[in-house]
Amino acid sequence: MILSICDDPKTMEVINIVVRIVNILKIVVPILLLFVLAFKFTKAAVAKNEEEVKKAEKTAVPSVIAAALIFLVPTAINLIIDISFPDNEYSACFVETSVEKIEAAYVMKMEKLFNRADNSLNMGDYVAAMNYLTYIKNEKERQEYEEKLKEIKEKIDKIREQNIIASSGYLDMDFGSCKFQEKKAGGMTYAICVPENYGGQSLPMILWLHGSSERGKSFNALVGSGLPAVVRNWSSTGLKNIPAIIVAPIVTSTDDTWGSTNVLKGVKTIMDEVIANYNINTKKIALIGHSMGGAGTYYVAREYQDYFSSIVSLSSHVSSCEEKDKSYFRTIPLKGFVEEAEPTIFKNPTTNFFSELNRLDDLKYLTCDHDEVPRTVLLEDSNGDKISDIIYWMLSFGMNAISVDSDPIGDGSFNPDSGTAGTCNKHGEYKYCSPKRGIFGSFAYADSEPNGTTNRWSLKSDPAWNKENLVDLPMTCSNGWNIDMKMHKLAKSTWEKVQQALCKITTTGIDGIVYKPEDITMSGRKATSVQRFTSNTKYVSNHSYGTAIDINPGGTYTVNGKKYTPYKRNKSEYEAFVAALGREDDPRNINYILWKKIFEPLGFKWGGNWKGSSFDGMHFELDGGKK
């Protein structure tokens, strides 16, 4: 194979040109050589100069040989390869390359890009396929691909819409209101608004870029207009507090814009300082600006593409996007708002910008005046849930629970501690042996209720076995949440990791997900080795071995006005809950998030994966191997 060149139509076009040049040269050069030779003989004969005739005769043979070689060698090489390797790629791409074959190769490449976009439903793959359409020369084929790609875009938009789900780690938590403070960094003044109940939790950051009216003005002028002014009076709006740290720099000089080199550097310095001083969820930094700041969102985002998770441009007057930046602005979550009344100044440039990105669906026209655009956009609450639509949108991106950038606490397998578990030793009232749970062993037990009673829930295990095999694991989180446990000694280090992770997800957060301690209610806490049978049966529960825990057994959650109890032993209730959320990895599906972020990486099994009547969404357990 020659590097699969037949798969690359652009390479084939170059090869086609090279082959044509070679074909021309192998004819033209021999003719020139023979022409020069004939000219020398003619010149010598006309001059009747024997010396010149002899010179011409000496060069005749080499010239004829050279002409023959130049003409015949490429042809001979092709012939030999064709005979020796009749199906070789060399022949297909170097000898038989044609315009038709190149066009067919472009269509083949287009088909691959289309299939990749269709399978992944990824915005980047969709954009790559859209950009490649220009190489399809056949108008009918190009239109067919355009229609099919339009369907893919609709699927992607639907997924994005489903992903815009509020997180109980952010939007359902109230960190209180905030008050803007004046600070300086990078040669610039900036205002920062930190929620009053912030306690080190991982929070998003919203970066606000003001318009030209505030340029060169004071701190008071900055916080008296645009987003800061709305936020200062947020309590009067009736909307839920914004669970984010808000940062608003000031362009100091009236000669500068957000695209000025010194301003761009200053903005980065400010962002880096805030990130360093606060526990910012760096996967969730939203950028929003108005007027000059609306245009500034383009300049700042273009310069620092790795920083932002979503962009909102209000009344921008940037009308075009550089080719090298189009892919970025086509894929990042982006919304634009512009007033209908001023087409020349704002509407036309903004429309052109979004049209150039093929994103007119993400642009909304407003009937309000220019200065009212920020307030109008920020206070819209279309579904009456007391959450600003645009805040909800900005803070939703990057909240996906299953993040490719997550740092798992384990590799998915259970790694037991060293040692040997105790075995069953019947004696006295402890006349029954529990089933052996692999490395976790078995124990002797007695019914804790007299025979004949209807309560078949409790059992009493051998105290000697408990003393030998169960260990106390005290733990109090930095937020005061006590999660002491008593677990099997061979899983001690694993349970300690569980405790640490539970503390983390209720304080600083894991991948931007933050829960309150009361969101995670644990059955059997402080004595997770609850001595019992499974529900009204004679089967010994894994809780008795110190290898299982129940979380949120009676948790009730409201979605779109309807209440669900998803983690009890009812698979259909859980499925209805997930359907209402729109996706299983919605952060409000707490036990699923705990499973993916904490328990699965440590090798636990989750009862939420069990089928039919075995479903047990509250239950997490370790498997000790062969039973």
Residue 524 has pLDDT above 90, yes or no: no
Residue-wise pLDDT tens digits, 321-353: 777 787 788 878 889 999 887 667 777 888 888
In a 10 Å sphere around its CB, with 0-12 CB exposed, 13-18 middle and 19+ buried, how is residue 133 labelled? middle
Helices (H), 85-173: 89-90, 99-120, 123-132, 139-163
Give the lowest-confidence range in 407-411, 518-522, 576-580.
Answer: 407-411
Q: Where are the domains of the chain?
A: 5-95, 99-163, 178-396, 432-621
Give the lowest-confidence range in 4-18, 212-226, 331-345, 578-592.
Answer: 4-18
Tokens 């930190």: give the residue: 194
More confident residue, 374 or 279: 374
Give me the DSSP letters along 388-449. Answer: -HHHHHHHHTT--SS-TT---SS-SS--PPSS-------BTTB-EEPPP-GGG---EEEESS
Residue 98 confidence (pLDDT): 65
Residue 197 has pLDDT above 80, yes or no: yes
Of 217, 515, 188, nearest in space to 207 by CA: 188
**Sheet harboring 310-314: ordered strands across?**
178-185, 188-195, 245-249, 203-209, 280-290, 310-314, 334-339, 363-366
User: Are 281 and 258 contacting, i.e. CB atoms less than 8 angstroms apart?
Assistant: no
Fold held by 178-396 = Rossmann fold (3.40.50)
The SS3 of residue 605 is strand
Give the lowest-confidence range in 55-59, 302-306, 493-497, 590-594.
Answer: 55-59
Residue 158 has pLDDT above 70, yes or no: no
Token pair listed for 411: 């590799």
The SS3 of residue 456 is coil
Residue type, 627: K
Of 189, 191, 224, nearest in space to 207 by CA: 191
Residue 523 confidence (pLDDT): 58
Residue 541 has pLDDT above 50, yes or no: yes
Give the lowest-confidence range in 58-67, 231-240, 563-572.
Answer: 58-67
Of 247, 246, 304, nearest in space to 270 by CA: 247
More confident residue, 82 or 142: 142
Give the lowest-confidence range in 79-88, 327-336, 560-569.
Answer: 79-88
Residue 168 confidence (pLDDT): 36
Residue 537 confidence (pLDDT): 55
Residue-wise pLDDT tens digits, 412-468: 788 888 889 888 999 988 888 888 888 999 998 887 554 444 445 567 888 999 899
Provide, rounded to the nearest whole percent, the portion of the chain with pLDDT above 90: 24
Residue 479 has pLDDT above 70, yes or no: yes
Token pair listed for 251: 């362009």
Considering the chain, what is the average pLDDT of its residues?
80
User: Are 587 and 513 contacting, i.e. CB atoms less than 8 angstroms apart?
Assistant: yes
Residue 527 has pLDDT above 50, yes or no: no
Instruction: Name the β-bridge partners of 205.
Output: 245, 285
Residue 328 confidence (pLDDT): 81
The SS3 of residue 462 is coil
Residue 399 confidence (pLDDT): 39
More confident residue, 53 or 617: 617
pLDDT (mean) for 475-492: 88
More confident residue, 28 or 3: 28
Does the pTM exceed 0.75?
no
Residue 94 confidence (pLDDT): 55
User: How many C-beta neighbours within 10 Å does residue 31 have?
Assistant: 11
Residue 157 has pLDDT above 70, yes or no: no
Residue 526 confidence (pLDDT): 39
Residue 266 confidence (pLDDT): 95
Residue 539 has pLDDT above 60, yes or no: yes
pLDDT (mean) for 169-192: 81
